[in-house]
Structure 1
């Protein structure tokens, strides 16, 4: 037979940890606002520099597609070798570590791929890659 007790205590919520965190946040923001006030009150004339543009993340690799009919495309724009070299030289001047990915059709003569790679190298691009697809055959 189960024992019944008449002394049932009501459940209570302990708010002490939440109040502690609240006080810590208040202290943090009070101290942080004091530091910004001190920074503004310092009478300092900092040097000026010319605007060199915003610092940006490294751009994606430029993709050059070589089609079997001889067309060369830089991204979605069809270019000849002179335009390709000019565009890559300008892009490389903006970002020194620019990379290029060359994708040639499997029926394109390797001479045409080599010519495009030479043009990329003449533009000053050091990071080059060639895209290939793995075959399903095991040898």
Structure 2
């Protein structure tokens, strides 16, 4: 039983071009390598510094001094840790009683706080030499 009437010889042989297939495989390889993640994402990394605090209530040397200028009950106040201070002089006294740090201080200002309070917080840090 003869299925084909044409005889296959070397001149009429069907050939697949391997060059284009290799190009497609190479492009797919590059695509999957660039879109996959080989490192841990930031949400999986531990973002806290582990410190053995023991039973001491003293602030850690690793904790920065953060001064917040916020509005509480229609009054602008300074917050330093758990303390609420009403004047820049009180803030300067509290900052002066703290041990000196090389890290300085951060002043975080609320959106509705006046500029003068932010400037007073920065000046209190300078006066306390923080």
- Quickly name the TM-score band, shorter chain normalised: 0.3 to 0.5
Larger Rg: 2
